[in-house]
Structure 1
Amino acid sequence: MNATNAFPIGTPGQPWGDVEKRQWLEQTTIKRSYSEEVVPKIQALSSDFEVAQYGQLQYDNNPVGESRYPLFVLKSKTWNDAKPTILITGGVHGYETSGVHGALLFAQTEAARYQDKFNIVIAPCVSPWGYETINRWNPDALDPNRNFVANSPAQESAAVMKMVADLGVSILAHIDLHETTDTDELEFRPALAARDGIEYLKGSIPDGFYTVGDTEKQDDELQKAIINSVRKVTHIAPADENNQIIGSDVTQDGVINYPLVTLGLCAGFTDCQYCTTTEVYPDSPKVTDDECNRAQVAAITGALDYILAR
C-alpha cells in the first residue's frame, strides 16, 4: 500500500470543517437524472406492487441538484402479516448503479415467483442525490451506509429505517445491493481520508463479485448459495495475496464479513435472520451493465431460494 494525501480539498491531517465541506459540495455536478431514469421505472411497477412514497429528502441549501427528492418503496400487493417479510435495498450509495437498476430488474422479472411465499419490500434508490451526482456521500458529506444508527444524521438512512419500522413486522431477510468501483480508490476513499484528517492508504479493487456477511451472525451457507447463484452470471472476485478482499479476510470463495451493526451499515439495521451485502464490480472489462444488473438479481434469487429450502 502507498500512503498519500492527494485529495485537493482541506489541509492534510486536519478534519474538514463547514468551509471544506461546502467546497466539496460545490465541486460536485449533476450527471444523470433520478426523475427520468429511476422514478418512471418505479411507477411502471404499480400494477404488480403497491408504490408508496415513504419520505422526501430536503436539502434546502444545496447548490447542486434538486432541493427535494421523493423516496419510493415497492411493497407486495398481496401483503399478509402471516408471511415472512423480505427487504431489498438499492442505491444506498447512489453512484452504485446496478444496486438501483438490479433491484428494479428483480421487481420486473423475478419477484412474482416469490410473492406467494414472502411479503416483498423494495427501496430501489435510497440516495437519489448520490445517484444523480454519482457520489458515495450525501450533500452533508455523510456516507449513508455508515449512518444506519439511532437518530441518524443522514436523511437517507433515517427515512429507510422509519419506513421499515412503520411496517410493524419483523424482517426475515435483508439483501442490500452495492458495487465496488474503481472510483472507490480514485476518489471516495481519498476524500474520506481528507474529510477525517487521516492518512490515506491506497488499497486495491477486486475484479469480480463478492458478498459481505455479518460477523455477528455469520451464515456461510447463505453466502455460498448467493455466490453459486451469481457465478452463473458473472465471475467471482478472487482473494489477494493475503487471502483478503478490500482488506478483510476471505472466509470462503467471494465472501468476507463485517460487524454490520457496529459500522452502521444498512444490512445490519433490521436485526434480521438472513442478511447480505452484495458487491458487483462494474468496471471489469469482463462484464456489461446488463450483466451487473442480472448479477444483483441472481444474488437476490439465490438468497430467497436458499431460505425457501430451509
Structure 2
Amino acid sequence: MKPATPFIYPIGTQGQCWGDTEKALWLSQQKQTKRSYQQDVVSALQSLPADAELVQYGHIDYSRHQLPDYALYAVRSKNWQADLPVLLVTGGVHGYETSGVHGALAFIQQHFAEFSRQANLLVLPCISPWGYETINRWNPDAVDPNRSFSPTGEAAEAQLAMACIQSHSGSVLMHIDLHETTDSDNSEFRPAKAARDGTVNTNWNIPDGFYLVGDTERPEAGFQKAVIDAVAKVTHIAPADENGCLIGEKLQQFGVVNYPKRSLGLCGGVTNARFVNTTEVYPDSPNTNPQQCIQAQVAAVVAAMQFALTH
C-alpha cells in the first residue's frame, strides 16, 4: 500500500469554505479536455446487442460555464417486462474513474444478451460526461455527484440519473455501481475537498487491489463474497491496512467494507434493491493494467447478476 502523503491545496484559505471566487479559480484549471466522451462512450453505444436499446434520458447544460451540453444515455432491455426483476448497472458517477465507464460498456457488448432473457437490464455507463472528459471527480460546480443521490442533491448528473432509474417500472433486485480508487484521490481530490469545505485533510492509504463497498443497511455478506471470489480470478484483491481497514473503514470480510449509502447520498443508495455493491479497482497498482481493471469490473457485474438471480 502506498503511504499517505499530506498535501495543502493551493486554492483557498485554510479553515475557510470556498466561495464563488475560489470555485471559479478551480474550474479555470480544469477545463482542458483530455479525452472525448463522444468518441469513447457515445460512439461505442451506437452498436448494441439485438435485445438492447439506447435511450437518451437527459442532457447536462453547462453553458453558464462556457462548456458544451452533454447528452446522457442509458441502455435498457428492448423488451421491458414489468413483471421481471430489474438489474441496474451504473458507471462514471465519478468521471475520472475510467474502468467504471469502460467496464459498463464492455458488459453491454459481452453479456447483455445473456442476462436480458432473465431480467430487465438498465445500464447507465457514464453519468458524469464532463468529469470523464476532464478526468475529474467533481462536476463544474465543484460538487461531487456521488454525494448528490438524494432529493436535495446539488449535482444535475445525479438528479437526472435518479429520474431515469425511477422512470423504469419494476422492482430493482440488484444495483452495482462501478468505481476506482486512484493515487489522485490523495494527490488531488481529497485535498481539494478539504480546501473547498474548510476542513483539514487526512489522506488514507490507497488499497492495492480490488475491493467492494457494501451498504451498511443491506450488507448481504454472501453476495459480496461471490463477487470477490469471481474478481479474484481476474485481478488481486486488496488486503486490509495495518489497522484492519480499507479507506478508513473496518473490514467486514476479505475485500469488503460497508458505507451507509443512503445517508451519504451515494449512487448505491438510490434504489431499494436487496443486493447492492460499489466496486473499487486500483488502476495505479504495479500489479495490474487498464485492461485487467476493465475485466475486473465486468467480472463483478456478471457475478453480481448471477448471484442475485439465483438467490
Q: Judge conservation of contact 2:49–2:113 (CA < 8 Å) in 1.
A: no
CA distance in 2, matches of 1:182, 1:290: 18
CA distance in 1, matches of 2:9, 2:246: 24
Matched, 1:12 2:14: yes
Determine the structure 2 residue equivalent to 1:163. 164
CA distance in 2, matches of 1:53, 1:4: 42
Determine the structure 2 residue equivalent to 1:206. 207
TM-score, normalised by the number of residues in structure 1: 0.97
Counterparts of 1:1-310 in structure 2, within 5 Å, are: 4=6, 6-28=8-30, 29-45=32-48, 47-63=50-66, 66-310=67-311
Q: Judge conservation of contact 2:147–2:153 (CA < 8 Å) in 1.
A: no
Secondary structure of the 2:273 match is: coil
Write the letter of the residue equivalent to 1:45. L
Q: Judge conservation of contact 1:61–1:67 (CA < 8 Å) in 2.
A: no
CA deviation map 1:188-238 (0-9, x unaligned): 000000000001112110100000000011110000000001001000000
Write the letter of the residue equivalent to 2:63. D
Secondary structure of the 1:61 match is: helix
TM-score, normalised by the number of residues in structure 2: 0.96
Secondary structure of the 1:110 match is: helix
Q: Judge conservation of contact 2:261–2:269 (CA < 8 Å) in 1.
A: yes
1:26 deviation in Å?
A: 0.3
Q: How many residues align?
A: 308
Q: Judge conservation of contact 1:5–1:12 (CA < 8 Å) in 2.
A: no
1:46 deviation in Å?
A: 6.2
Secondary structure of the 1:38 match is: helix
Q: Judge conservation of contact 2:205–2:241 (CA < 8 Å) in 1.
A: no
CA distance in 2, matches of 1:21, 1:48: 44
Task: Tell me: CA distance 1:4–1:307, structure 2 relative to 1, closer, same or farther (3 Å).
Answer: closer
RMSD: 1.3
CA distance in 2, matches of 1:85, 1:309: 14
Write the letter of the residue equivalent to 2:221. D
Secondary structure of the 2:53 match is: strand
CA distance in 2, matches of 1:93, 1:3: 22
1:47 deviation in Å?
A: 3.8
Gaps of 5+ in 2: none
Secondary structure of the 2:107 match is: helix
Task: Tell me: CA distance 1:4–1:197, structure 2 relative to 1, closer, same or farther (3 Å).
Answer: farther
CA distance in 1, matches of 2:75, 2:264: 27
Q: Which moved more, 1:154-163 or 1:41-50?
A: 41-50
CA distance in 1, matches of 2:284, 2:7: 24
Write the letter of the residue equivalent to 1:164. I
CA distance in 1, matches of 2:5, 2:180: 24
1:165 deviation in Å?
A: 1.2
Q: Judge conservation of contact 1:13–1:199 (CA < 8 Å) in 2.
A: yes
CA distance in 1, matches of 2:79, 2:5: 54
1:5 deviation in Å?
A: 5.5
CA distance in 1, matches of 2:310, 2:203: 42
Q: Judge conservation of contact 1:206–1:238 (CA < 8 Å) in 2.
A: yes
Task: Tell me: CA distance 1:91–1:3, structure 2 relative to 1, closer, same or farther (3 Å).
Answer: closer
Gaps of 5+ in 1: none
1:168 deviation in Å?
A: 2.7
Write the letter of the residue equivalent to 1:37. D
Identity fraction in percent: 52
Task: Tell me: CA distance 1:270–1:41, structure 2 relative to 1, closer, same or farther (3 Å).
Answer: same
CA distance in 1, matches of 2:183, 2:206: 7
Task: Tell me: CA distance 1:46–1:109, structure 2 relative to 1, closer, same or farther (3 Å).
Answer: closer
Q: Judge conservation of contact 1:3–1:200 (CA < 8 Å) in 2.
A: no
